[in-house]
Amino acid sequence: MVGGAFTYHVKFLATVANLMLNRSKALVLDFGGVVTRTLFETHHLSEQALGLPAGSLTWRGPFDPDSDPLWKSMQADQISERDYWNKRTLQVAKMIGEDWSTMSDFVKAARGADPEPVMRPEALESIEIVRRAGGKLAILSNELDLFYGAEFRRKLPFMKHFDAIIDATYTNILKPDPRAYASCCEALELAASDCVFVDDQMRNIRGGEAFGMQCVHFDVLRPKKSYAEALQKLGLAKD
DSSP calls for 43-79: HHHHHHHHTPPTT-----GGGSGGG-HHHHHHHTTSS
**Statement to judge: residues 53 and 108 lie in one domain:** yes
Per-residue pLDDT, 68 = 97
Domain boundary (112, 133, 154) is at 112
Beta bridge partners of 141: 167
Q: How confident is the model at residue 4 (pLDDT cuts 50, 70, 90)?
A: very low
Let me know if residue 4 belongs to a domain.
Answer: no
**Statement to judge: residues 92 and 152 lie in one domain:** no
**Statement to judge: residues 30 and 124 lie in one domain:** yes
Cα dist from 87 to 95, 102, 120, 238, whole Å: 13, 10, 25, 40
> What is the pairing mode between strands 136-141 and 195-199?
unpaired
Q: What is the CATH number of the domain that holds 151?
A: 3.40.50.1000
**Statement to judge: residues 200 and 182 lie in one domain:** yes
- Reported as a single tens digit per residue, the pLDDT across 59-112 is 999 999 998 999 999 999 999 888 999 999 999 999 999 999 888 899 889 986
**Statement to judge: residues 174 and 131 lie in one domain:** yes
Tally of domains in the chain: 2
**ω into 176 cis (within 30 of 0):** yes
